[in-house]
Structure 1
Amino acid sequence: MPGGLNLEQLRKRAKELARAEGVKLAEAQFRIARDHGFPSWPKLQAYLRRVAEHGETLQHPYHQDVEYYAERALGLLASAEDGTPGAREPFERRNQPLTRDGARAVVAREHGFVSWRALRDHVKSLVDSGEPFARAYRAIEARNPEQLDTLLGEFPGLVDARGTNGNDLLGMAGATHDERLSRILLDHGADPARGNVHGWTPLHQAAYSNLPLLLDLLLRHGAPTAVSARGDGGTPLVVALFWGHREAAEILAQHSRAPGNLRVAAGLGHLDAVDELLTSGNPGAHRGFYRPHSGFPHWQPTDDPAEVRNEALAWAARNNRVDALEALVARGADVNADVYRGTALAWAAAQGRLAAVRALLDLGADVNHRGTFGGPNHGEGVTALHLAAQSGHLDVIRTLVENGADPTARDAIFDSTPEKWAEVCEQPAARDLLK
């Protein structure tokens, strides 16, 4: 039981305290509840009953925003529809359909509540509930290592407890970019190999956030590098390459065997592997992973050779691998292809990869190509200049404009120019440059 609390033992202690101090039992129970951080005995009692009933499989609510759970339910559904085993299993165990309502029912029951409404009502009062997991999450969110260390000392079982969709505290700590929190959790025995329902481990999170120090820390504690999340081939290395996080990718490449496909070879700039895969290998293998989270739309990768080459071109671009770009185009890659949420030029511009931008323009990329990028509610009909402006990459902006990029182009969702994108995304230098 998280924290080692036992309801029967606490009841016994309350009776002993009442007799020893000559107070009413309710007063003794209230004191014990407050000693453990709960506002009342009924709150403590309800929490312990829920934990006792569901045991180690219980997921602890920790976020105060009700919409957070609705989004996690949709993410669980998307991952289940992609065939991720850890995401499909709770639907089967709870006998729920792969629908929005089914996903909400699963999330509620995984948290120990009979309905979505019951979970929602509980979450509304979560900040005052005193539940240890929620308190530990708030310490992580506040980047307060001292408070987290104190809570773990008082409730040692917290390192093994899980939150929504199987996320544990070590996984959450990686999202803060504060390695001190992860170090404290590891010192208290947190498991660096543990994944959530999507298969996402702390090492995936460190790769996603491009945190070299955290990567080193987790690798020293034995974090596995060959684990796939969100589809076949979705290792931490592949997650780093998806975002163009070269520093993280190069660290992980030293500790792991890369999934043998063209996009990974291109992202790492391994030209011998690129050539070998295109001539005699299977360049489209292990591409079940195609998105890091369900904010990106559904897609089904195929073994079409053109799709495989064109996707690899975008991965080379976001990782600034100029030699790989030239090699792939020479082998037939379409420099303007938008395989999945972004052309090579769009990715290079978004990630500020100036060398790749220049190389792609020299190779014939259309500087004003309108395509997709990111989530379906973000990038439709966008140009590379919109994406460079959004991230404030001034050298890329200058290069694109010098090569004919249209600063008056408007995207298809917001009907906004690159200058407006810079303004909305709080990039004043880019905004002023585009004026």
Structure 2
Amino acid sequence: MGVLPAKPSLDQLRNRAKDLARAEGVKLSEAQFRIARDHGFPSWPKLRAYVRRVTEHGETLQHPYHQDVEYYAGRALGLLASAEDETPGAREPFDRWGQPPTRDGARVVVAREHGFGSWQGLLTHVRSLVDSGEPFARAYRAVEDRDVDRLETLLGEFPGLVTARGTNGNDLLGMAGATCDERLSRVLLAHGADPARGNVHGWTPLHQAAYSNLPLLLGLLLEASAPVEVSARGDGGTPLVVALFWGHREAAETLAAHSRAPGNLRVAAGLGDTGLLDELLTSGRGGEHRGFYRPHSGFPAWHPSEDPAEARDEALAWAARNDRTEALRTLVSRGAGVDADVYRGTALAWAAAKGRLAAVRTLLELGADVNHPGTFGGPKHGEGVTALHLAAESGHLDVIRVLLENGADRGARDANFGSTPGSWAEVCGQPAAWELLR
């Protein structure tokens, strides 16, 4: 395989083809075909189209890499949702391409960002992506397959891959974090990948490692000087906050050793930092830097308010999902509503979903309603759900037993599916939980 530079020149490739044709005594078309194959493309027109897109769009080009056309439709809807809820930077692509914030406008934006003039042009390309020879798509498949050797080879053949971006501005280092295979990230960092680089939402590899609860990868990225205080998806959305949002205590504690930014009530409650918690509750500053509220557009739009009561109530849920019982007691004693459902889940719902047995017991002692019907996750998932539904879904048997001992209703039905906790356990592949609830 030949090496294709980060900024390939179509004129240079044409000249190479002419030189090869003269030297080998073959037709120009045969020489062009050989050069295309040398770079992994099935034909000269495929190579030519790729080089033209890279040349015309430069570093701003987003390379298609997923073969499912519905994936791009989903990205368009996500872009539109982010623009509608005023996520920072989400309106810029619409303005850049002169498109209205509508479904069709979002699809045109996604197509243009990928170097195509129309939505149909993008879809036509995507349908043949697996046979296109596109370097970024091939590297993505190597990452998905956790094929370190193939990725290493591709990075040698196409040095520009380490700085290239895919859909939503995601690069290979960010994608590697989703595989839970640190070897891929090591290879990319060795080839010069930037650990500080974020996608269109500001989401960096460190955010992804926190999201996936990968302490080893966090350590690798921190050693490579990945920034810890950068925000994604809104003010205050640091990697630490992402880890705490999901109740990933190990990742959170790794990050907290480097920085506790943004240092608000969410962070104090999630880390169980009672000193900071008392300070913020006394000063009334705990509601700052709460622009981040969801990790992706699968969660519904919401705007945090400046109401101190809302910040206290929200912090209770963050303490619960991270099993911080002392913080729970402190917050309730300072006025937090034990059954408050500020954004997608009461404290008891989050504790049950994460299997936080100590938090569940503490909240029930503090008066939480064991059968409170609330929200959780995306709107198509959790409406009118109880803590028992969520514990059943994840098979947290100890939590299920404690909830039942405290009067949890086995026959409670959620609002979306009309299903009982036992049905949730059955559908979600939790036979032990189903047996316990039966």
TM bucket (normalised to shorter chain) is: over 0.9
Query: In the alignment, is the contact (CA less than 8 A) between 1:390 and 1:418 conserved in 2?
Result: yes
How many Å separate the matches in 1 of 2:190 and 2:296? 29
In structure 1, the partner of 2:282 is 279
Q: Does 1:193 align with 2:167?
A: no
Q: How does 1:277-426 map to 2 (within 5 A)?
A: 277-426=280-429
Q: Does 1:267 align with 2:270?
A: yes
How many Å separate the matches in 1 of 2:84 and 2:174? 23
In structure 1, the partner of 2:222 is 219
How many Å separate the matches in 2 of 1:81 and 1:249? 30
How many Å separate the matches in 2 of 1:86 and 1:37? 36
1:382-404 deviation line (CA, Å, top 9, x unaligned): 11011011111111111111111
1:175 to 178, 181, 195: 178
How many Å separate the matches in 2 of 1:123 and 1:224? 34
How many Å separate the matches in 2 of 1:240 and 1:151? 32
Residue 83 of structure 1 deviates from its aligned partner by 3.2
Structure 2: unaligned runs, 5 residues or longer: none
1:109-161 deviation line (CA, Å, top 9, x unaligned): 01111111111111111111100000000101111111101000110110000
How many Å separate the matches in 2 of 1:186 and 1:86? 27
Q: Does 1:19 align with 2:22?
A: yes
Q: Helix, strand or coil for the counterpart of 1:278?
A: helix
How many Å separate the matches in 2 of 1:188 and 1:429? 47
In structure 1, the partner of 2:234 is 231
Residue 331 of structure 1 deviates from its aligned partner by 0.7
Q: 1:83 to 1:214 in 2, by over 3 A?
A: same
Residue 81 of structure 1 deviates from its aligned partner by 3.1
Query: In the alignment, is the contact (CA less than 8 A) between 2:41 and 2:47 conserved in 1?
Result: yes
Query: In the alignment, is the contact (CA less than 8 A) between 1:3 and 1:154 conserved in 2?
Result: no
How many Å separate the matches in 2 of 1:250 and 1:287? 20
Residue 279 of structure 1 deviates from its aligned partner by 1.1
How many Å separate the matches in 1 of 2:260 and 2:24? 65
In structure 2, the partner of 1:72 is 75
How many Å separate the matches in 2 of 1:255 and 1:81? 34
How many Å separate the matches in 2 of 1:369 and 1:83? 31
Q: Helix, strand or coil for the counterpart of 1:87?
A: coil
How many Å separate the matches in 1 of 2:80 and 2:237? 18
Structure 1 length normalisation: TM-score? Answer: 0.98
Q: Helix, strand or coil for the counterpart of 2:90?
A: helix
Query: In the alignment, is the contact (CA less than 8 A) between 1:237 and 1:252 conserved in 2?
Result: yes
Query: In the alignment, is the contact (CA less than 8 A) between 1:79 and 1:230 conserved in 2?
Result: no
How many Å separate the matches in 1 of 2:193 and 2:315? 36
Q: Helix, strand or coil for the counterpart of 1:86?
A: coil
CA RMSD of aligned residues (A): 1.2
Structure 1: unaligned runs, 5 residues or longer: none
Query: In the alignment, is the contact (CA less than 8 A) between 1:170 and 1:202 conserved in 2?
Result: yes
How many Å separate the matches in 2 of 1:35 and 1:138? 19
How many Å separate the matches in 2 of 1:91 and 1:181? 34
1:282-312 deviation line (CA, Å, top 9, x unaligned): 1110000000100000011101122111100
1:389-427 deviation line (CA, Å, top 9, x unaligned): 111111111111111111121111111111111121112
Q: Does 1:106 align with 2:126?
A: no
How many Å separate the matches in 2 of 1:325 and 1:100? 43
Q: Does 1:37 align with 2:43?
A: no
How many Å separate the matches in 1 of 2:266 and 2:7? 47
Q: Does 1:128 align with 2:125?
A: no
My pick for the range that moved more, 84-93 or 206-215, is 84-93
Query: In the alignment, is the contact (CA less than 8 A) between 1:86 and 1:199 conserved in 2?
Result: no
My pick for the range that moved more, 351-360 or 279-288, is 279-288
Residue 17 of structure 1 deviates from its aligned partner by 1.7
Query: In the alignment, is the contact (CA less than 8 A) between 1:4 and 1:155 conserved in 2?
Result: no
How many Å separate the matches in 2 of 1:34 and 1:256? 49
1:163-192 deviation line (CA, Å, top 9, x unaligned): 111110100110111111111100000000
1:427 to 426, 430, 435: 430
Structure 2 length normalisation: TM-score? Answer: 0.97
Query: In the alignment, is the contact (CA less than 8 A) between 1:230 and 1:292 conserved in 2?
Result: yes
Aligned residues between the structures? 435
Query: In the alignment, is the contact (CA less than 8 A) between 2:353 and 2:387 conserved in 1?
Result: yes
Query: In the alignment, is the contact (CA less than 8 A) between 1:82 and 1:231 conserved in 2?
Result: no
How many Å separate the matches in 2 of 1:228 and 1:305? 22
1:77-101 deviation line (CA, Å, top 9, x unaligned): 2223343343222222112222222
Residue 276 of structure 1 deviates from its aligned partner by 1.1
My pick for the range that moved more, 8-17 or 383-392, is 8-17
Residue 4 of structure 1 deviates from its aligned partner by 4.8
